[in-house]
């Protein structure tokens, strides 16, 4: 079983879409091993998104992701990292295929409903930041 991580972002939580997104994960065969709703401090968000720290959108990304509650979900499935990214769809909802999470629940490039780990190393790091510190 491969471990991966999904985070439901503030606009999707505020819109009440968390139930539909979690339902989609379960119906696609992902097992949930941990889940929590919380809000990021700027410091923790900076570490979570450290790979983007030199990007022009980093400041906006941190300000957005700390703007409201998020829901972190630890998931397990065979080939789960790749399959979760297929289910989530393209980063920009405008480019996402019909049926994907971002097509259905994303608004724009920043408010794109969810984040999904892109590698085993990212999954391990993101799971540790969200579930391993308190």
Residues that bind ligand CMP in the complex, under the rule CB under 6 A: 52, 57, 61, 91, 109-110, 112, 115
Cα separations (Å) of 82 from 19, 66, 76, 91, 92? 22, 27, 12, 14, 18
Nearest approach, Cβ of 52 to ligand CMP (angstroms)?
A: 6
Q: Please, which residue, 79 or 108, has the CB nearer to ligand CMP?
A: 108
Give the Cα separation of 44 and 26 in Å (integer).
28
Residue nearest to ligand CMP (CB): 115
Nearest approach, Cβ of 56 to ligand CMP (angstroms)?
A: 7
Annotated active-site residue in 115, 117, 125, 129: 115
Query: Is 52 a residue of the active site?
Result: no
Active site (catalytic) residues: 115
């Amino acid at each position: 079983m491969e471990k991966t991580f999904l985070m439901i972002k503030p606009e999707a939580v505020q819109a009440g879409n968390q139930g539909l997104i979690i339902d989609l994960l379960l119906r696609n065969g992902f097992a949930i091993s941990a889940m929590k709703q919380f809000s990021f401090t700027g410091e923790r968000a900076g570490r979570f998104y450290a790979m983007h720290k030199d990007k022009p959108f980093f400041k906006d990304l941190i300000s957005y992701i700390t703007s409201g509650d998020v829901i972190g979900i630890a998931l397990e499935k065979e080939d789960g990292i790749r399959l979760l990214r297929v289910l989530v769809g393209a980063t920009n909802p405008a480019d996402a295929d019909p049926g994907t999470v971002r097509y259905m629940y994303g608004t724009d490039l920043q408010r794109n409903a969810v984040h999904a780990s892109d590698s085993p190393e990212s999954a391990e790091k993101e799971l540790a930041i969200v579930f391993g510190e308190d």
